A and B are shown apart, each in its own frame.
Chain A
Amino acid sequence: MKIVVTVKLVPDPNAVRRIDPATKRLVRTGVDTALNPFDEYAIEAALQLKERLGPDTTVTIFTMAPESMKESLRKALAMGADDAVVLSDPALEGSDVSVTSYAMAQALKKIGFDVILSGALSDDGNTGGVPGALAEHLGVPGLTNVRKIEEIGDGRIKAQRETDTGYQVVTGPLPALVTVTMAVGEPRYASLKGIMGAKKKTIDVLSAADVGIDRPLGSDSAKMEVVAIAAPKSREKARVVEAADGASGAQAIFDFLRERKLV
């Protein structure tokens, strides 16, 4: 089975991130690049499937990003993925959800897949729009928010997906796109052997033309533009009350809620 994991390369989630006031885009230079934390769970889920299904199963990592960032994919290869592909083209800069998902779909059709695993959302801003749009462009079912893949094989998948109030059991045919939640399990650490081995694994680079992209791309075709950025309203510093005992702590909260007419 061929599994492709889509990962987004994002500015280090632990670094201070800012938006360039002139271009109104996220500053990505001078900041370390990392795998979107949610995508590490998708990689983990893919590697679990590989263990379950045996050596005929391969895991390919896919990203759409500037070529200069491709080395950031080594971590995924060190965790145990087999190879990686980057879709990279200056024409893709400034893409919004609609352009990104279209371009990704073109590349994924070329790469081929039985299952695509994606993170449920990105740490840097599109908040989960890409996977649904990607499934549409590929014309495959999208199983979102999966916490457990119960069965997979013979062209079918059965999975538990989280809902707002619990979960659903869903079954259907492959190929399909699956987004996973953190409940699939903590991403594994790369072993030393994995890190060494990753250096020899291939990272292919595809251009827009390579994947047959035939329409204008990037910010020119984006459907939205950022017109303003601002800092959030800051809250006043918290009132801090050291409670001598339960009763006085409770009274302090009660009085505060009274003051704000909340009780």
Chain B
Amino acid sequence: MITHIRTKGFKGLDIDEDIPDKVIYNGKNRSGKSTRSEAIAFAILGHVPFSLTGKLPSDILDSFGTDSISSAVTIKGVEFGRKIWRNDAGKVSTSLQIDKKRASADIFSMALGRVGAPKIVDVSQFMAQSDAKKVDTLFDLFPNPELSEIDQEISNAKEDVSRIEKQKDGAESTITRLTNSKNAIEKPAGTIAEIQASILEYDNKIAYVREQIKQDEIKEAERKAIIEGERQERERAEKEAADMRVIAETKINVIEESFLPDDEITLKTDEDWTRHNIDNMPDSPEMAKNDRIISGLEQQISKLDPPCIEFENFDQKKSDYAIVSDSILTIIEALTGAGCEACAALVVAKMELKKFKGIS
């Protein structure tokens, strides 16, 4: 409790008087009522609440229109004094005193604490604070031990909510991204099982056709072997016939040469030959024999001629088969091109084609 106040030049007042514990200062305006309150506050706080002065000593001097103010209050018998002044150079200084002896701010503060820590609250300053600071101030004054625990609980729950919301948003983004990806893909018709069944069907078809090719290749190889054998046989026969023809022709020449006159006769005209033939009429037994031999040889030679007509017929037939075969192949191609890999028409065409294998 402040029991005494002493001021000098404080808003022009010099005061030196006791203060009751509960006092009503009553007087006209400008009589010094508020000045006493301000002087008390200035001595304790170092500034003047409830007024428009600033907190800086220079502001206070400027507000009061003076270069020096001092105020001291006595609490529990100890006087706490504060003085601010501006020197000729304009520098503002502050001096603190305890029982009229200079003291540092710390000592001054500690000494105030020892006498009960007088506390003057500037309510207007409190109300000017933000709501958050007001709350802090009030909770400092009215501590609620369970609040910090509850605040921690709220903080943890908020962190959980924030974390889970992020995870949920992440899942939502994933769903959106995957759905977009899915929508961008054109879905094929049928199920995987159905398509795999179709693939198996195609495998079977491919295997079947490959087997057909294999069989055809075997048949083709056999056919080529037969043709080659026939060709070789024909060549051998032709060679043999040619050899025999040469022998027969040689023999004929020998016989015919024996009919030629011994003397040198020039048979230039038909008349020469007629006369020669008359001279050599085939009425002689030797001549008749030679004629029979030549005739026999000529028959042999004629038999050695290749069966041209038959070969011509074979080739013609082969050519006809090739035409039909090509036609059937054209049909098969058309059917295949139309996607008819396993239709009845294709099967029939293939069967028909097989009839010509080995011929064409």
Interaction A to B: no
**A residues adjacent to B (C-beta < 8 A):** none
Chain B residues in contact with chain A, CB under 8 A?
A: none
